[in-house]
A and B are shown apart, each in its own frame.
With several copies, the nearest count.
Chain A
Amino acid sequence: MKLLYFAWLRQHIGRNEETLDVPDSIATVAQLIDWLIERGEGYRAAFADGTRVRVAINQHHVDRDARVRKFDEVAFFPPVTGG
């Protein structure tokens, strides 16, 4: 699974993208976040306040209960502030 991080999530995690082998048991965005948090301090800091994290799958905004699949591009970012 290709994972992207933007803004302060990128800074906490220390990279803007990575490709990870995510276990088959991870079916939803919520489960993916819980699994990532176990990977270390940077992830824990990035996802500490879950209400401030938005998610996109294959470049579409999604909710926490959206399904994730092996070859998806999943992006994590703060609420957007363009314009």
Chain B
Amino acid sequence: MIKISIQREDFDIGREIALLRSEHKSVGAIVSFTGLVRDSSHGEPLITMTLEHYPGMTEREIMRIAENAHQRWNLDGLTVVHRIGELHPSEQIVLVLAASKHRNEAFEAAQFLMDYLKVRAPFWKMEKRATGEHWVDARSSDSDAAARWER
């Protein structure tokens, strides 16, 4: 059970967990990650953050990551919801849910999904601040986080 949704609308974590659980009765552990728009960047207040993506490739790339996670861990379900379009400070950007019988598998799978999503899924963030519009730079710490799963 892999659910992937790229959407403009906000998401409701309680509803997503209920959906995931409705498909699998014996889930013992669910780990979630929620990413939010921060209120400042480079020392300036953030006005908006706009997310652009590559339709089609985004879903396929996330599916490849999710299938990889399913091979590595014993999972009862995975959900990835990622928003696109214009977002404001403190809005939700991304939700990852990993369900398993065992908590460590759920923790690792959720972390794996986020680490790879950050470096593989074709999304780009543009920040609007007082000084203008700025594309967000990729961080080497994100590449390092993904690389540790290849050890």
Contacts and interface: CB of A to CB of B under 8 A. Distances in A.
Contact of A82 (B53, B56, B126): B53
Contact of B138 (A4, A75, A81): A81
Interface of B is mostly: mixed
Nearest to B64: A60
A8 B56 CA distance: 20
B54 A77 contact: yes
Nearest to B124: A7
Interface residues of B, number: 29
B138 A82 contact: no
A61 B123 contact: no
A19 interface: no
Given A7-B135, A8-B135, A59-B60, A81 B123 contact: yes
B121 A6 contact: no
Contact of B52 (A6, A59, A61, A75): A6
